[in-house]
Amino acid sequence: MTAAKAIINEIQGYHRFIKFLIFLVVLAALGGAIRFIFGLGATTNLNDTYPWGLWISFDVVTAVPLAAGAFTIGVVAHVFRIEKLEPLVRPAIVTGFLGYSLVCVGLLLDLGQPQRGVYVLFPWNWNVHSPMFEVSMCVMAYTTVLFLEFLHPVSERFGWHIPLRLLRNLQVPFAILAAMISTLHQSTLGTFFLIAVDKLHALWYTPLLPLQFWLSAIFTGLCIVMLEASLCHRYMGQPDESKLLATLTRIVPWVMGAYMIFKFVPLIAAPQGPLFDRPVLTTLFIAEITIGLFLPFWMFLQSRIRTDKSMQLQAASLVIFGLVLNRFNVSMFAMIQPGQQIYYPNILESVVTLGIIAAHILFFVLIAKYFPIFEHHPEAVDYSIPDRFHKIEKAGSVEVVEAPPQPAVPRAQPSPVAD
């Protein structure tokens, strides 16, 4: 059987939902090819008034904080030594790695001259005063860190003992490095919009936008871990981690409380303009803070959420909804000026974004199928180097001793067959 035929047979055995995801990914790949062939102007509704559309608002500004679970749970488990949360780390790392990889895809799609994207690697092209430069460097660096962390289950899967032992020793440095890089670019995503002082509506504009973006990424990242663990238990038959998630429910309200202080104090004490002069934006703001902030904050304060799996899932989902709405409000809705032409994504932009979401789910399911990302328990993993590696290292000094010849065993004579 050829490799291609084996792959086809494997795909034919997948669930129909997985096949549907594959269809969406292929459709998005075709849409991406059309964009690269004909250019942004011919394939999107972007223009000089709205140079940033759906691909930036969702694939970058929203997707980056949604992938923040990797660095938040890594810090909690490895730096603060809450080791019982270790089973949640690997799925979060896979989610983060896939999220940032697809962010890179979204950035390439939105670049007017994508072939010049590599220019950022050359120091003589650097503009160190640009937030975009910082975000581009941090996204590349953090994606590399996540890839190295992702090699952990890969090494286990293929029995690569020496890389496994090396990666194990680098867990804490990787967690610290990931937290540093993420702090930089998560906050800098908010810095993007500080320049829009005359364009972004006063309900969202504040000099504290970078701090708001960073804090919201932290508690939303923890909620993504909760959502992911709950769905994997419900639909993939993975172990129930609700007892571990109860620890996260104690952390989330503290970060949400800090976020609310930095969101509402400047809004009340130093508003940047009229607040409730546009009914549509007022409605979006009320929906964001009531459904996506106040309600889940109240739910996380209830003691029942420690043991109620449905309540954990609902609260986490509401927080994620609130963050998605917040990022769209900041990067798209609140940037629209009265009487101005309204931007809406065309079918190709929507198909590509839908395919990127499908690709994230598809690759996560496939990685979970073929690699040990849920079976991780440190006490059960053998990090010792097998004897054969020691022999390789000492090959020049080890004297090979041949085993003594064994005495010949007389062959048994066949018994006579009875007539």
Q: Which pLDDT does position 381 carry in this prediction?
A: 56
What is the rounded CA–CA span in Å between residue 239 and residue 234?
A: 9
Distances (CA, A) of 60 to 101, 179, 385: 11, 19, 41
Q: How do residues 334-352 score in pLDDT, each as one tens digit?
A: 988 888 888 889 999 999 9
Give the model's pLDDT for residue 383: 57
The one-letter code for the residue type at 28 is A
More confident residue, 112 or 250: 250
pLDDT in tens, 197-245: 888 999 999 999 999 999 999 999 999 999 988 888 888 888 888 888 9
Which residue has better confidence, 55 or 83?
A: 55
pLDDT band at 395 (very low <50, low <70, confident <90, very high): very low
Q: Which residue has the higher pLDDT, 57 or 397?
A: 57
pLDDT one-digit tens code per residue, 166-205: 888 888 898 889 888 888 888 889 998 998 888 899 999 9
Banded pLDDT at 299 (limits 50, 70, 90): very high
What percent of the chain lies above the pLDDT cut of 90? 37
Within 10 angstroms of residue 138's Cβ, the number of other Cβ atoms is: 21
What is d(CA 303, CA 250) in angstroms, rounded to the nearest whole number? 9
- Contact at 8 Å (CB) between 146 and 93? yes
